[in-house]
Amino acid sequence: MRRLLPLLLLTTLTTAHAAYCFQHPRTDLTLYPRLSGAPRQIEEQVTVEPAFRTLDFITARTSNYTYQGTQAIQVTHRLTPDDPSFPRTTLFQATIRPSGALASPATTLAGSWRFVIRGSLTGPAPQVTAADLAAEKALPISITLDAQGRLTQYKGGVLNPEAGLMDEVQVSCTYASAQRTVREVVSLARRTRSVTDAQFGPAGELLSLSSTGITLDGSNSPLIPTAETFTYDNGTLSRSVFSVAGQANSTFAYTLTSGQITGYTVQIGEGDNAVRERHTFTRDTHGNWITHEYRLGKALVATVTRRITY
């Protein structure tokens, strides 16, 4: 079963849009979760079951988000991959500080991020300390929000906490209220630049996504275009179809309770080659999810648990 994990992670990470400018039904905002109930801190733990662990993919992650009002002011990720040939621990931290009132028409924020990795060829993964992190060079973060508190510009670092990838990133968000559209442009240093157009309905429901892009390796090769369309029954999200180069790749069926997603299933492919996944959520009294179970058929693949302090 180990060989299935890259496919499962590919499904989780690619068919769920890396959302910066708007909320995707299956994905928290990439820079920091935006939850109900004014949380002060979120502690998040991810564990992959032994049967599904594979080299170079993260099998354990602990994340902490500290908030001031609705703004995350510190984000920390500690990660451990399941690689016996090179046990290692990774620590990432971003610290953000407002400069001016958050209610101002063009709020700007600044901060820094650091990233450190330590490994061992002769023993277990070493523990990375705050002192190790502090010894690393701090790189700048800059953020601009609009009058509604929406991201318009971001420049800094981003960590993909599932795969342990770190990059410098630049993001711009353009909101066209009359057309009910959002355009998100994401540039990952020396890798890719992608453009995603999101179309919303009159009630703010996400109707479709369309993404294109190019590589940044000097060839400017186009990336394979992707798209996702969302179907609603009586205003409730019921289904979405993810397509690659115009061909349907994955179908999602959603279960909602009181307007909130409590689970969804995924079918990738057709016939005997089809892969089926199931995701189940439990939520607290504020409506924020606190557990996320991820299964392949009946087999538990991974569990995410959250402890939220309000």
CA–CA gap between residue 151 and residue 172 (Å, rounded): 8
Q: Has residue 140 got a pLDDT over 80?
A: yes
**Of 24-38, 108-122, 282-296, where does the model show the most confidence?**
282-296
Bigger pLDDT: 247 or 102? 247
What is the DSSP code (8-state) at residue 286? T
Query: Cβ contacts of residue 285 below 8 Å, gap of 6+?
Result: none
CB 127 within 8 A of CB 91: no
pLDDT of 48-98, one tens digit each?
A: 888 887 765 666 788 999 998 778 899 998 887 766 677 788 899 999 986
What pLDDT is attached to residue 163?
54
CA–CA gap between residue 148 and residue 248 (Å, rounded): 35
**Token output for 272:** 């005997």
CA–CA gap between residue 209 and residue 233 (Å, rounded): 19
What pLDDT is attached to residue 118?
86
What pTM did the predictor assign? 0.85
Determine which of 15-24, 33-42, 169-178, 238-247 has the lowest per-residue pLDDT on average.
Answer: 15-24
**Token output for 77:** 């990720």
User: Which residue's entry shows tokens 């407002």?
Assistant: 98
Query: Cβ contacts of residue 233 below 8 Å, gap of 6+?
Result: none
Going from the C-alpha of 228 to that of each of 206, 242, 249, 252, 272, the distances in angstroms are: 10, 4, 10, 10, 24
